[in-house]
Amino acid sequence: MNRKALEILAGGRYLQEDPGPDDSTRDPALEVEVRKMLQLIGENPSREGLLDTPKRVSRALHFLTSGYDLRVTDAVSGALFEEHCEEMVIVKDVEFYSLCEHHILPFYGRAHIGYLPKGRVIGLSKIARVVDVFARRLQVQERLTTQIASGLQDVLDAHGVAVVLEASHFCMIMRGVQKQNSKTVTSSMLGAFREDSRSRSEFMELIRSHR
């Protein structure tokens, strides 16, 4: 594909190949600790297959916990628009991936988010970015749910915000009770969704439909 075609696809910006992580993303101190961990579990970090594992684990952990360096306002990035709209807005099935703070094992699932605008709306993709701000930290699902709801309420000043998370936890799938099909559901209802049972019921019905 020629440069002009790439510029069109990129909306006027030339797309270059991702060079991948460079040395600026390395954390030598964390790499040392990962190497120690490998030794403590009985592995040989000097064998061929594990030579670069400390570097890879370090970079992976920094990416998976990158939410500590972000704020909701960073994720929204000015994508708030004045709009005379007070009807419910819902974004369903937003994928998220996080790490359980108890075992540092993954939990993952889908977020269903709704809000009742009060004169302004948010770019829909920014809702997914707000989810990542809080998901990319060591978390428990209950706190993640309330943080997403509170974060959106703070920037939107909406009549209400509703968040439901459905997730599978590897601390239950791979260890412990080892129940592969279990799911955990949590919710946070703010403003009108907490105070008005009709709004709450409408939201719950809409996120269940067409699934």
Catalytically annotated residues: 100-103, 141, 169, 171
Q: Which residues pair with 112 in a beta bridge?
A: 164
| C-alpha to C-alpha distance for 132 and 147, rounded to whole angstroms | 11
Chain centroid to CA 8: how far?
30
Q: What angle do CA 107, 111, 75 make, to 5 degrees?
A: 95
Give the single-character DSSP code of 1.
-
| Number of residues assigned to the chain | 211
Q: What are phi and psi of 2, to 5 degrees?
A: -80, 170
CB 34 within 8 A of CB 69: no
Strands 160-169 and 138-139: unpaired
Block residue for tokens 């000043």: 157
Spell out a b/e string for 185-208, using b for 16 or more CB atoms within 10 Å of the CB, else e.
ebbbbbbbbeeeeebbebbbeebe
Token pair belonging to 62 = 């920094």
Strands 89-100 and 106-116: antiparallel
